[in-house]
Structure 1
Amino acid sequence: MSLSPRIIALLLACLISALTVAFLTFVEGVTLNMIFVVAVSSFAISFFLVLYAIELLVYREVNKMYKTIHKLKIRDFAISRKSIIKNTNPFKKLNDEIFVYVARKQKEIDELKRLEQFRREFLADVSHELKTPIFAAQGFIHTLIDGAIDDDKVRDKFLNKAAKSLDGLDALVKDLVALSQLETGEVKMNFERVDIRGITEDIYEQLEKIAHSKHATLRIKADRPGPIWVKADAQRIAQVMTNLIENAIKYGNENGRVLVTFEEDRKHWSISVRDDGPGIPPEHLSRIFERFYRVEKSRSKDRGGTGLGLAIVKHILNAHKSKVTVMSKLEKGTTFRFKLDRID
């Protein structure tokens, strides 16, 4: 049988009243009227005090705990840490602490599930990316072994294709190793005074052939002439600029323009790489820095690349205490922007 707060209060009040009356009967000079008044008053006071204590301090807070459990089941984690500190009721504080603890653990579980899903997707992506060049090279080599090696033209053609596939595999493995080292912190940045403008001009020269094939124009715009000195790892920041500029050329329009802009403020240089290509659809913007993520898989494959470039860019800039952002409008182009510490 379950007892309500009122029944418990009634029973305890009766017990307290009876004990009080029992003690009074042993006191000399106490009249029946006095015993009656004391019995009624002690009963009434005890009833309301016990009822208040049980109802407000115990039952109500226990009911709130059940409501908390229900909220946790539906994953409603809206609670303020300040409200816990302000509470003086120990049951309420316990209730809120349980809520915060379970909410934190639930979020940790959700994060572990997300990482597990990410691991599965990554393994699937790596398997797929490795399989393509391996199978291609394997097919060409087996064709040569089966007799095509005797034909000089076929032999040279297939060997070149096999070499190209293996070069792609080599580039993929190198990017995977670099990304893994960046994520685990194995790569230590060698920060020094670097001329980011000079690095950009060198990259423009290196990518001139690719730009010429797309009839793309490469330009630099800066707030002031001359070298632009920043605090950076020269090799890694060159890798960042190469990735961003090469992507701007590859995914930009024919006869397009790639513009690298340097804007100065009190403590930083803001560097942006902009193209006037077709742009990136809004639904893809939040995912383009993920490993192997491609906006259009077929077109991206045709243009080459490992699908790891932007992920590497993000991690290198994170190591520079910087963050890369992207803005894009369909048919108007895409802009990648980040900041580096200025050195005079």
Structure 2
Amino acid sequence: MIPFSRKYRWAWLVCLLLLLGFLTNSISSYLVSKRNVRQTIVETSLPLTSDNVYSEIQRDLLRPVFISSLMANDTFLKDWALQGEVDESAITKYLHEIKIKYSTVSSFFVSDKSRKYYHPQGLLKEIKEDDARDRWYFRVRDMASDYEINVDPDLANRDEMTIFINYRVKDYQGNFIGATGVGLTVNRVNYLISRYEAKYDRQIYFVDTEGKMVLRPSNSPMLNYANLGDVEGLSEEAEALLAGDVANLSYQRDGKTRLLNCRFVPELQWYLIVEQTEEAMLAPYKKELLVNLLIALVTTVVVAWIFIAAIKRYHVRLERRNEELFETNRQIESQKAELEESSASLENANATLSQLNKEKDEFIGIVAHDLRNPLNGILGLCSVTDLEKDDLSEFVQDIERSSESMLSMVETLLDVSRIEGHEVRLVKRDVNPERMIEESCKLHKEQAKRKHIQLSCESDAPDGTLISTDPDWFVICLNNLISNAVKYTPEYGRVVVRTRAESKQICIEIEDTGPGIGPEDQEKLFGKFVRLSAKPTGGESSAGLGLYVVKNMCERLGVGISVRSLLGKGTTFTLMVPREK
């Protein structure tokens, strides 16, 4: 184990300085090498590749230019055109022989007099000034130079992109009588690009003056882009490249740094772009950097070990002398910890007993206070049983209500006792929630009627919707929430039990128009024996246990419960019940 205590700080400081020196030297050497590699690629490698490709293109174009020149000065071609183009088979045979002899993909002659376009298979078409595909001919007719190199789709070769040599044909007095020439497919240039890409591990492609990708190998990743501006990292630089403001630049694509060279090819009116990543050329320097870093780390570890061994030897005697003292101190600390743990346990037990005693006192006080009024009512009503028969029924109803109040309180206390004693056994099954809601609402209709409260049920759940729960305990939760809503809603108010279906659960909302619950009361809403600032509006009693029972039972049933309320605007409790299994 390597020590890191203060007594070794000088050893670590020396090792750290040594390591920093190694790292600084290695990283600076790598950065210099990286800069030199990038400079070599930008200033030498890429321009040289671009020059080689351009030279190959020029070399491949010299021969068809020479062939076109021979055709333009051939006396047969001139005489045939000047004599009225009588024998069409003669010109077809001539063009066919040119194509076969010089291995071109196309040869042609366009007569200025008849505007007919001849090729090795015969008459192709008639040239028209309003046809966009024939504009090249009228451009050649009006140009000052003897020939031009043009890239167009070849109508006679299924519109394959072809490099045409368009040569002006003149009669013996120097008057323009037509245009002739040969065509080469761009496959030759494509093959050249593929060969150079494989040889130099570079990407080579052509774009036109508008930035459109016009030529790239069949296996090139640049096939994913239609325009130079679409290339990742080049969208902001494309305009400067096409304008000739920038010839060399670097950019990021696919997580790699790429160096680019751009040059204009006037014969094709295209831009030749050559790019290369610097990773391949940096690989040896990265390997050297890793080796240097490893040497620095090993050297630092060896020096650190020597320093630490010397320091440890010096401190070994002091450590032996302190061992006995450490052991004695450890025993004292252990005994102290045991005493503190015992003291903490006693304090926790005392706090628990105090809390239980406090809850017992609160419980006795609440029960004595809340049971006293119903009992007094029953006793008072019993003392007037000698009244007339017609008046007796009203008092009997009061006795019944008082008894129901006491029974509800006792049942709530029993529910709390069963929940806290873990005597509840849940038996979940698929049940219809609307039926249970209707039964609960019927149970509280009379209570709502006495206060002129409108109690209603609403549902947008599909017929036959089921939930998975224990119906006996779920009904207890519903009854508590509906009873509370009626209890805290003033006369002529409204209580709505609303059911709506979601994908995985059924939401049951109990909404009232009561006084609402403030933020402070919401924090302690589900506690035991809680007294809120809001009071029942009809003089009803409350033990402060109903919501405590609902909260604990919902947790057992896996039912979510939430509340939203604003003072003066009522309260809404929401039960989120899982749908059937």
Q: Aligning the two structures, in what range does the TM-score lie when normalised by the shorter sequence?
A: 0.5 to 0.7
Quick one: distance in 1 between partners of 2:369 and 2:525?
18
Quick one: distance in 1 between partners of 2:510 and 2:423?
28
Partner letter of residue 458 of structure 2? I
TM-aligned CA distance change 1:214 to 1:290, over 3 Å: farther
Quick one: distance in 2 between partners of 1:337 and 1:105?
42
SS at 1:302's partner residue? Answer: coil
TM-aligned CA distance change 1:111 to 1:340, over 3 Å: farther
1:247 counterpart residue number: 484
Q: Deviation per CA, 1:87-111, whole angstroms, max 9, x where unpaired?
A: xx77767766765665455334323
Alignment equivalent of 2:454, drawn from 198, 203, 216: 216
Quick one: distance in 2 between partners of 1:169 and 1:255?
25
TM-score (norm 2): 0.39
TM-aligned CA distance change 1:97 to 1:150, over 3 Å: closer
2:474 counterpart residue number: 237
TM-aligned CA distance change 1:151 to 1:278, over 3 Å: closer
TM-score (norm 1): 0.61
1:131 counterpart residue number: 372
TM-aligned CA distance change 1:325 to 1:103, over 3 Å: farther
1:106 counterpart = 2:347? yes
SS at 1:299's partner residue? Answer: coil
TM-aligned CA distance change 1:92 to 1:218, over 3 Å: farther
Task: Tell whether the 8 Å contact from 1:263 to 1:269 is kept in structure 2 after alignment.
Answer: yes
Task: Tell whether the 8 Å contact from 2:362 to 2:529 is kept in structure 1 after alignment.
Answer: no
1:327 counterpart = 2:568? no
Task: Tell whether the 8 Å contact from 1:294 to 1:300 is kept in structure 2 after alignment.
Answer: no
1:191 counterpart residue number: 428
Give 1 or 2: higher helix fraction: 1
Task: Tell whether the 8 Å contact from 1:249 to 1:258 is kept in structure 2 after alignment.
Answer: no
1:193, CA displacement in angstroms?
0.8
Quick one: distance in 2 between partners of 1:206 and 1:166?
16
Partner letter of residue 502 of structure 2? E
Task: Tell whether the 8 Å contact from 2:494 to 2:512 is kept in structure 1 after alignment.
Answer: yes
Higher relative contact order (CA 8 A, sep 6+): 1
Task: Tell whether the 8 Å contact from 2:453 to 2:486 is kept in structure 1 after alignment.
Answer: no
Alignment equivalent of 2:494, drawn from 219, 242, 256: 256
Quick one: distance in 2 between partners of 1:333 and 1:214?
17
Name the Cα RMSD after superposition.
3.8
1:164 counterpart residue number: 401
Consecutive unaligned residues of structure 2, counting only runs of 5 or more, are 1-314
TM-aligned CA distance change 1:210 to 1:124, over 3 Å: closer
Consecutive unaligned residues of structure 1, counting only runs of 5 or more, are 1-43, 60-88
1:115 counterpart residue number: 356
Greater shift, 155-164 or 94-103, is seen at 94-103
Greater shift, 286-295 or 187-196, is seen at 286-295
Quick one: distance in 1 between partners of 2:406 and 2:359?
22
Quick one: distance in 2 between partners of 1:261 and 1:156?
39
Greater shift, 89-98 or 285-294, is seen at 89-98
TM-aligned CA distance change 1:209 to 1:104, over 3 Å: same
Q: Deviation per CA, 1:26-73, whole angstroms, max 9, x where unpaired?
A: xxxxxxxxxxxxxxxxxx99788646864x6666xxxxxxxxxxxxxx
Task: Tell whether the 8 Å contact from 1:274 to 1:334 is kept in structure 2 after alignment.
Answer: yes
Q: Deviation per CA, 1:274-296, whole angstroms, max 9, x where unpaired?
A: 33432112222243334554425
Quick one: distance in 2 between partners of 1:110 and 1:103?
10
1:227 counterpart residue number: 464
TM-aligned CA distance change 1:265 to 1:287, over 3 Å: same
Give 1 or 2: higher strand fraction: 2
